[in-house]
Amino acid sequence: MSERPEMKPQMKEWIKGIHVYVPGKSAAADGTPLVKLSANENPLGTSPQALAARAAAADPAAYPDPDSTALRVALGELHGIDPARIVCGTGSDELLNLAAQAFAGPGDEVLFPRYSFAVYDIAARRCGGTPIEAADCDFAADVDALLAAVTERTRVVYLANPNNPTGSYLPRGEVERLHAGLPKDVLLVDDQAYAEYLAPGEDDGGLALAAAYDNVLVTRTFSKIYGLAGERIGWGTGAPGLIDALNRIRGPFNVTESGQKAAVAALADQDFVTASREHNRTVREAFVAAIEALGNHGLRALPTEGNFVLVLFNGEVTAEAALAAIAGAGYAVRHLPGQGLPQALRITIGTAEQMDAVAAALGELCR
């Protein structure tokens, strides 16, 4: 064999463009532990029924059900979906990544709005595709800008609805308009990680589109309102061809037994979901009002349908100073300079007491 110039494995060029995902922090710069309002977790924790089911889960020496059958049946019953049209994942992250891997590759474009979930850029690059950001409209997804950015190379479009990190929400008519404007060979991924926080009856129409068309995948997660982020469980639904593609490339035992058991029990405890949604709405309203009261200091809370608020700092108080002041009060929130938001903080809605403390720290800074 001829001598090779570089005798070590060579990272693919497209992987070099990926920045390691930086999760929400739970400690100050000096290592002091902080209360975490930086990862959009549920401040009410987890349904006690889900905790009990998780604790009672089977022998950890045994592999789990590779097809998450009971969980898909329970999801199907709750949402009126044929379980054959559902796939479960190691968090919805796995499914978001697999969607790009299955339907895009080198030379293809993967499109998403500016200021959306960081994993879309990673998913696009992971498969050798090119990430394309469409312009936003005041920090929200803009359907016209997305449609204008579609080219003959576009293969996948991601939409987080509600969106992380801005909290913006595209109503049903707009999602339908986006879908109608896309070529039918472009996959629309409607990432509904925060859908359960919407007002009861509010629905962006993604599930209906996924039921009716071959090119719509809806993803959801147990990490947010269901309070099971540590178990890593997500699910997706769409046409059989989409589910088949994701099943071919997902991890064979991608959801743990304890996760499957916990998730089934969590679905059965819709009272916990309702309480979490109500809690979020009430505490979020009060927190947004407290931020609005600081409006003359340049603080602006973007409209949000999630369990978090993106606060913009456009005056004398900088996001860095606010981050430090909030850390001083004992809380970690999310600063996202790497996502083009150097003057913003994403603050997860915690308990009423926690949010009062964060608002007080910001108020103090503005005095």
Binding site for ligand PMP (CB under 6 A): 40, 91-93, 117, 160, 164, 191, 193, 221, 223, 229, 234
Least distance to ligand PMP from the beta carbon of 367, Å?
Answer: 33
Least distance to ligand PMP from the beta carbon of 162, Å?
Answer: 8
Closer residue to ligand PMP in complex, CB, 94/257: 94
Neighbours of 263 (CB within 10 A): 27
Closer residue to ligand PMP in complex, CB, 114/153: 114
List the alpha helices (DSSP H) in 149-239: 172-181, 206-212
Least distance to ligand PMP from the beta carbon of 89, Å?
Answer: 8
Categorise residue 80: left if φ over 0, alpha if ψ from -120 to 50, beta otherwise: left
Closer residue to ligand PMP in complex, CB, 261/362: 261
Closer residue to ligand PMP in complex, CB, 93/142: 93
Least distance to ligand PMP from the beta carbon of 204, Å?
Answer: 13
> Cα angle vertex 26, ends 25, 32, to 5°?
120
First to last CA, the chain: 73
Closer residue to ligand PMP in complex, CB, 92/280: 92
Contact 364, 324 (CB under 8 A): no
Beta strands 86-90; 331-332: pairing state: unpaired
Alpha-carbon distance 131 to 361, whole Å? 38
SS3 101: helix
Residue nearest to ligand PMP (CB): 91
Closer residue to ligand PMP in complex, CB, 164/276: 164
SS3 236: strand
Beta strands 216-221; 187-191: pairing state: parallel
Least distance to ligand PMP from the beta carbon of 223, Å?
Answer: 3
Least distance to ligand PMP from the beta carbon of 25, Å?
Answer: 14
Alpha-carbon distance 266 to 149, whole Å? 40
71's tokens: 């969980």
Least distance to ligand PMP from the beta carbon of 188, Å?
Answer: 15
Q: Is the peptide bond before 162 cis (omega within 30 degrees of 0)?
A: yes
Closer residue to ligand PMP in complex, CB, 191/305: 191
- Burial class (CB within 10 angstroms; exposed 0-12, middle 13-18, buried 19+) of 173: exposed
Closer residue to ligand PMP in complex, CB, 155/220: 220
DSSP state letter for 5: S
Neighbours of 302 (CB within 10 A): 21
SS3 15: helix
Least distance to ligand PMP from the beta carbon of 297, Å?
Answer: 28
